[in-house]
Amino acid sequence: MTISFKVSENTKQKAIEYFQDKKREKTPQYAIFQADEEDTVVTLYESGSMVFQGVSADIDANMWKELERHLNPGKEIKEKEKKETKEKKENPIDKKLYNATTIGSDEVGTGDFFGPIVVTSSYVTKEDIPFLEELGVRDSKKITDEKIMEIVPKIIKRIPYKSFILTNKEYNNFYSKDLNMNKIKAILHNKVLIELAKQYHNTDYIVVDQFAKEFVYYSYLRDSKEVCRGITFTTKAEDKCLSVACASMISRFIFIKEFDKLGQSLDMFLPKGAGTAVDEVAKTIKEKYGISKLKEIAKMNFKNAEKLSD
């Protein structure tokens, strides 16, 4: 995955300082530096273009986009992502699924050290499809936060949905060897799917973006009183099913609002994701508020928490 966008001069200087000890010896032509950030290669060009390449490119790119927005409020970030053509070939759209009346669910926050996990299910009819296409509804990870905040209020006026917010305090109480992240996700997806399926019976498909094999997903729910059955599990579901895409965007919308409230309560800028910048902020929070505060606002099974005791 390759993601690139231009940053302002103040963000360039922050990047130069941040990657000082992570630079590679060889630098591409016209680049200020090229550096390694765990699974991502980051290149900053003289033009101000920042390029992120690798498995975690989207996570690291989002962190620097957040900083760019924080330092330069109101500036539009034009992102280029070089993977769509390949994805379309690897994940062809099933028109029968895409054009159907569906209930779909998706979650956000599972890769973020700070902020809650938000799971949403949405109900999209065949008649809603042109409306959603006109709005540009797609996977929330591929849309800027600004666009999410603009589009989602229009979506929720028309599209029925159910959301559940799991705070990190609750997450830390639940998490164990017997109740891992995927099991927590399965329980929450089941909860919002059941709530919506009880209201809307006229559906062709119930769709979940696959994060576990079908038999594993249902094994996670063996102790649940009610289980939503007949689910279609598919990878990259946000691109194939508009109800999943809506669920993704609504979850992101709620997550952003909760995340912003959290930052305001601490009176500091919180980076998203789980990168090195998060480690620095977590250290500051621990020093200022103590480890008990982190247990309320962060996922303590992440490696970021382990680094605090180093």
Q: What is the pLDDT of residue 81?
A: 53
Q: Are 192 and 163 in contact (CB under 8 A)?
A: yes
What is the C-alpha to C-alpha distance for residues 273 and 282, in angstroms, rounded to an integer?
12
Q: What is the spatial order of strands in the sheet that 205-209 belongs to?
A: 161-166, 117-124, 102-108, 205-209, 231-234
Mean pLDDT to the nearest integer, 122-133: 94
Q: What is the pLDDT of residue 89?
A: 46
Q: What is the pLDDT of residue 93?
A: 63
Partners of 237 in beta bridges? none
For the cut 50, the answer to whether the pLDDT of residue 253 exceeds it is: yes
For the cut 50, the answer to whether the pLDDT of residue 5 exceeds it is: yes
Range name among 61-70, 150-159, 162-171, 277-286 with the lowest pLDDT average: 61-70
Q: What is the pLDDT of residue 274?
A: 87
Q: What is the pLDDT of residues 36-52, one digit of tens each?
A: 887 788 999 988 899 98
Run of H or E residues at 17: helix 9-18
Q: What is the spatial order of strands in the sheet that 49-54 belongs to?
A: 31-37, 40-45, 49-54, 2-6, 80-81
Range name among 11-25, 112-126, 138-152, 293-307 with the lowest pLDDT average: 138-152
Instruction: Categorize the per-residue pLDDT at 166 as very low, low, confident or very high, splitting at 50, 70 and 90.
Output: very high
Range name among 90-94, 161-165, 275-279, 300-304 with the lowest pLDDT average: 90-94
Instruction: Categorize the per-residue pLDDT at 58 as very low, low, confident or very high, splitting at 50, 70 and 90.
Output: confident
Q: What is the pLDDT of residues 185-216, one digit of tens each?
A: 999 999 999 999 999 989 999 999 988 999 99
Q: What is the pLDDT of residue 80?
A: 61
How wide is the angle at C-alpha 185 spanned by C-alphas 248 and 272, nearest 5°?
Answer: 55
Model confidence, pTM: 0.72
Please give the CATH architecture assigned to the domain spanning 2-82. Answer: 2-Layer Sandwich (3.30)
Range name among 117-121, 198-202, 303-307 with the lowest pLDDT average: 303-307
For the cut 50, the answer to whether the pLDDT of residue 87 exceeds it is: no
Range name among 20-29, 166-175, 244-253, 280-289 with the lowest pLDDT average: 20-29
Give CATH for domain 94-259. Answer: 3.30.420.10
The b-or-e profile of 43-57 (16+ CB within 10 A means b, else e) is bbbeeeebbbbbebb
Instruction: Categorize the per-residue pLDDT at 23 as very low, low, confident or very high, splitting at 50, 70 and 90.
Output: confident
Domain extents in the chain: 2-82, 94-259
Mean pLDDT to the nearest integer, 108-126: 95
- % of the chain beyond a pLDDT of 90: 58
